[in-house]
Structure 1
């Protein structure tokens, strides 16, 4: 039977299947996406809580997986963001946690990280009961920077902002005497603008300048409701920049509503060699350099290796499933369905097949729900001392965080559709979509790359060619290859 599977794999998939690879392998463990030189505080389970809790600054934390393609694509933007706002550290800092690392599974589970990348805000003086506030919206640098401003202002509205944070809201009823009594500086900058909170440039200017407090004068916003100040300083057009001195002197400048322009205009008042000077940061846009794929890796990609299949299962159950805080309802049903399919059709070595069978048998004892920690223990016990770290061979990429797990998972499901088709070639009394439905359930509820998951579910439910349209086990093999080709096409266009 196994020889038939090899032949079928070769004919249908165009692959050769190797149990004992003869080429060099690379570890399953992934390298972090960020370097120590990046202005991103990299944390793990040992120091996460001690780093972010009870601090007077807020945090924006990215929970990512170093194998996730969208995390890899997002990394340059996150580095650019961190460089862009590194001067905001007195108010909010940027950090990251790699959920792909074994030791971080409990941490990411506790903070209910269900997809990658996930961005969460943590307010100042965060305590152990807070799970963070998930950020939604686009992943462009400007959009995230604006959401940081919104989060800071929300902290003021909820009266949670520490007293040293700069006030981002416009002047309300404060008089000039109120301002001079509030600040110890001998200068204050007023930024007059036509709108209230629909623009961000003036608030970003406040954040940019605050890194040099108390050397740099505080900046306060003024909108059109303060006609008394507009008249007092003879502001003819908006936006405008008024430099006030405690002595009563003032200068008015017409400005452009742009963050970079504000940096330049404010720099006029400080010598760049003096302490507290406002320095215009250099561009920090990070670009990805091309990497050469070694010839032995290219050769390995034309073959299917048992190491890749087993590696995918080790990561799927050891990370993707175990990281969930609670598995219940449809999630538990989908998990049991996948394990059942693997138990019956995974053409693996005896050790892994025994592990899968034991896992499924023990999971049957949980009828309604199972906690992530409990599942992790079931998986650990089912492995029974077997190696928990496999090495990628055919799925090795030019970097440790390229290909790897996603490649191994695709290969595993391709192999399962072929194995199922071999066992049920005549399609009698079987559901030809069994493997595809099991794959769909796992991808929907457990695959960490949220964008990838949503895209696959869209394909699976496409009214022109849904999974339900598959009428034979052989057609299931071809449906999955067509879906995979579509994913590759989109990935190539994106890259």
Structure 2
């Protein structure tokens, strides 16, 4: 029991120190790993496959597949993940003929699938051609670089009879338009060992009106007709029109597409957009932080089941408050102008500056703010549409969950919920402003006051808060005092509403924090502001990304995970040229050792016992092989 308690304390300490410093995007990513969602959950260019979806998708006979079988806890898989993401982006325009998938073998629901496809090490990459029988186990792929994998794909696709544009044209210049219905031909003259032409053909496989023809320099008729002076070279041919050389300095895919875009855009044709790798994170996952987060989330889940939630802040709650304000409360106003509009802008500004959210969320809030900067008024309906458009511009802004509240979930639908989450959100904003050394210590509280005055749906609550806000002037002089002022105001409200008919009987309103979660915060009934400030800073900066689906009984085969200690398997260590290894020893090796004092003591004991056994064996062997020095009297057996 003592050993388990120490382990919990250690894990809690690691989680507080290590995980609280992570960005919201990193916390979300680590949470996805620890909750069994895998390494590619939020990366839509890679199709996540599982036991139930694998055969239906991979053997649907419409395209080829390149699938990575990986383990979420495997260090080499972490280092390979940026390569796999880059590859998926690299060949995304080829998705009608090749799809990039991934299977998380650390998910318990996928263990049988990984066993069936004979996955012996991580990461394992397998190729599944089009029209493969459903019993085919896939061809092993040893390539581990982006260029190597892309060239492998091209080589395999060249074997398909339905993609003739990937083969070299053997005919004459006179017959080059034979059987081609498109109005433009892009002729690529290059040697047989190059992939420039084939990759361009795949980049433009979905571009109508354009056909790519790959020609070897040995095809004298075509080369002479186009007046090719050097290779590689690219020419644009128009049906019943001109033929022109496409000037390109560097024959990279980006430069080729850019040059073609300049020529074809005036003709009404669009080239694929340049590949943007900005969203791919090359940083190596720290297993220690992932394990720490796993342990602390286990403790949080236990508290959830026992109803002990008062010291945990959930991202889903504060996002729920933000969504309710942006999509319900603010749009409910018919027309917003004057002081009300100023209050709206100030609210959006503090949300944009201090709300803890990932990159997509920051872009979303920035979009709303920029849309309001040059306005003096706005209708509620227009604000709703503006907000909706800004959110649609981003991939995923908020956590995906069927429940908007978790820590603020009431025993009834009408209890807690939004008011609870709004308090939580504003407490979080005061702490975030303190952590970011905000210039104006009153900015968050002023923005909060304006929002509650003009937009909060409870009129009586709004009136009481505005009365309390009059004490702000002489009491808030720093970001620390801002945190404490809001804490005292919240306790004042709790005291006033304690026993009220609006109180949730399962969550009585008490003076916070109680001694059960902060022993040093009170001394004989008197608050210790210094201890309270430290507690609030920790509480509102240590945000959990757990959602209701993480604590419900698992019913979906795609959301079950196994413990880290049971997830390890053989790993392949490869030297990637296209991926940066950041401190392999520190991030990979050291973080995998999870020994406690007992384990280390046992190792030391076994070490000394083993050494003693080895010495005894050597001594016995030495005695048996020892020969006494020969003397002349030994010949006569003299005693």
Check the 8 A contact 2:173/2:222 in 1, yes or no. no
1:196-235 matches, cutoff 5 A: 196-197=192-193, 199-212=194-207, 215-235=208-228
Counterparts in 2 of 1:285 and 1:297: CA distance versus 1, 3 Å: closer
Match of 1:147 among 148, 152, 161: 152
Mapped to 1, the partners of 2:77 and 2:564 lie a distance apart of: 22
Mapped to 1, the partners of 2:595 and 2:42 lie a distance apart of: 31
Match of 2:178 among 178, 181, 190: 181
Deviates more, 1:242-251 or 1:279-288: 279-288
Match of 2:606 among 420, 425, 433: 420
Computing the radius of gyration from Cα coordinates, the structure with the larger value is 2
Check the 8 A contact 1:66/1:98 in 2, yes or no. yes
Counterparts in 2 of 1:224 and 1:104: CA distance versus 1, 3 Å: same
Matched, 1:253 2:246: yes
Check the 8 A contact 1:237/1:254 in 2, yes or no. no
Mapped to 2, the partners of 1:54 and 1:430 lie a distance apart of: 65
Deviates more, 1:92-101 or 1:34-43: 34-43
Counterparts in 2 of 1:235 and 1:291: CA distance versus 1, 3 Å: closer
**Partner deviation per Cα, 1:11-33 (whole Å, 9 max, x = no partner):** xxxxx966863325799765411
**Partner deviation per Cα, 1:334-378 (whole Å, 9 max, x = no partner):** xxxxxxxxxxxxxxxxxxxxxxxxxxxxxxxxxxxxxxxxxxxxx
**Partner deviation per Cα, 1:188-220 (whole Å, 9 max, x = no partner):** 111112x212x22222111111132xx141111
SS of 1:418's equivalent in the other structure is: helix
SS of 1:182's equivalent in the other structure is: coil
Check the 8 A contact 1:39/1:83 in 2, yes or no. yes
Check the 8 A contact 1:89/1:211 in 2, yes or no. no
SS of 1:109's equivalent in the other structure is: helix
**Partner deviation per Cα, 1:130-168 (whole Å, 9 max, x = no partner):** 11111113x222222122112222xx2xxxx252x3521
SS of 2:210's equivalent in the other structure is: coil
Mapped to 1, the partners of 2:146 and 2:598 lie a distance apart of: 36
What are the ranges of 5 or more consecutive residues in structure 1 without an aligned counterpart? Answer: 1-15, 301-387, 393-400, 433-495
What are the ranges of 5 or more consecutive residues in structure 2 without an aligned counterpart? Answer: 16-30, 296-560, 566-586, 619-639
Matched, 1:127 2:133: yes
Counterparts in 2 of 1:21 and 1:242: CA distance versus 1, 3 Å: closer
Match of 2:189 among 161, 174, 192: 192
Give the superposed CA RMSD.
4.0
Mapped to 2, the partners of 1:114 and 1:410 lie a distance apart of: 30
Counterparts in 2 of 1:22 and 1:121: CA distance versus 1, 3 Å: closer
Match of 1:34 among 37, 40, 45: 40
Matched, 1:43 2:37: no
Q: In the TM superposition, what is the alpha-carbon distance from 1:239 to its structure 2 partner?
A: 2.2
Partner of 1:470: none
Matched, 1:242 2:244: no
1:58-207 matches, cutoff 5 A: 58-137=64-143, 139-153=144-158, 156=159, 161=160, 163=162, 165=163, 167-172=165-170, 174-176=171-173, 178-193=175-190, 195-197=191-193, 199-207=194-202
Structure-1-length-normalised TM-score: 0.54
Deviates more, 1:401-410 or 1:42-51: 401-410
Mapped to 2, the partners of 1:209 and 1:412 lie a distance apart of: 61
Counterparts in 2 of 1:405 and 1:238: CA distance versus 1, 3 Å: closer
Q: In the TM superposition, what is the alpha-carbon distance from 1:390 to its structure 2 partner?
A: 5.5
Check the 8 A contact 1:272/1:279 in 2, yes or no. no
Check the 8 A contact 1:63/1:118 in 2, yes or no. yes
SS of 2:73's equivalent in the other structure is: coil
Q: In the TM superposition, what is the alpha-carbon distance from 1:427 to its structure 2 partner?
A: 1.8
Structure-2-length-normalised TM-score: 0.43
**Partner deviation per Cα, 1:298-331 (whole Å, 9 max, x = no partner):** 9x9xxxxxxxxxxxxxxxxxxxxxxxxxxxxxxx
Mapped to 2, the partners of 1:44 and 1:275 lie a distance apart of: 39
Mapped to 1, the partners of 2:596 and 2:149 lie a distance apart of: 32
Mapped to 1, the partners of 2:221 and 2:269 lie a distance apart of: 35
Check the 8 A contact 2:106/2:562 in 1, yes or no. no
Partner of 1:21: 7
**Partner deviation per Cα, 1:74-94 (whole Å, 9 max, x = no partner):** 111211111111001111111
**Partner deviation per Cα, 1:86-118 (whole Å, 9 max, x = no partner):** 001111111100111111111111111111111
SS of 1:270's equivalent in the other structure is: helix
Q: What is the aligned length? A: 309
Partner of 2:27: none
Counterparts in 2 of 1:280 and 1:411: CA distance versus 1, 3 Å: farther
Mapped to 2, the partners of 1:411 and 1:65 lie a distance apart of: 28
Partner of 1:371: none
Matched, 1:57 2:51: no
Counterparts in 2 of 1:79 and 1:389: CA distance versus 1, 3 Å: closer
Mapped to 1, the partners of 2:564 and 2:122 lie a distance apart of: 23
Counterparts in 2 of 1:33 and 1:247: CA distance versus 1, 3 Å: same
**Partner deviation per Cα, 1:20-77 (whole Å, 9 max, x = no partner):** 6332579976541113333000011110110110332111111110101011011112
SS of 1:54's equivalent in the other structure is: coil
SS of 1:119's equivalent in the other structure is: strand
Partner of 2:263: 269
**Partner deviation per Cα, 1:361-420 (whole Å, 9 max, x = no partner):** xxxxxxxxxxxxxxxxxxxxxxxxxxx96688xxxxxxxx98899434899986664353
